[in-house]
Structure 1
Amino acid sequence: MTVTFPLIGEPLALDLLNTEAAVGDLVADPAGLTAWLAAQAGRLTPVDVVGEGEVAAVRALRA
């Protein structure tokens, strides 16, 4: 399944807020977070491995 992230290119904090969409949480699992990080290429330092801990940290930051 391909995830489309809304409004990529806004300020980074707004892009992160937009991952909680009407269709659900787009970074709810490691695959979703990995895809979002890839969509932010050039704006964030690449991450080699994304696990549940990273997902929890990003979701806590977004909250």
Structure 2
Amino acid sequence: MINLTVTGMTCGHCEKAVEEALGELPGVERVVKVSRADEEVVVEGDPDVDALIAAIKEEGYEARAQ
């Protein structure tokens, strides 16, 4: 599992946008959690962490590995 801290999400639409963006990346088996309240994203699989962060930033949010 890969845990990321994500800031800037303010609504359910934000969470859905991040979930969809990450779900399309190679190596992502499942997006386990996207929570604006916890400022956390959890991904299952073996994706490139930098690619995850880049996809989140492309959606307009800040992200970093925990």
Q: Hey, which of these two has a bigger chunk of strand by percent?
A: 2
- TM-score normalised according to structure 2 size: 0.33
- TM-score normalised according to structure 1 size: 0.34
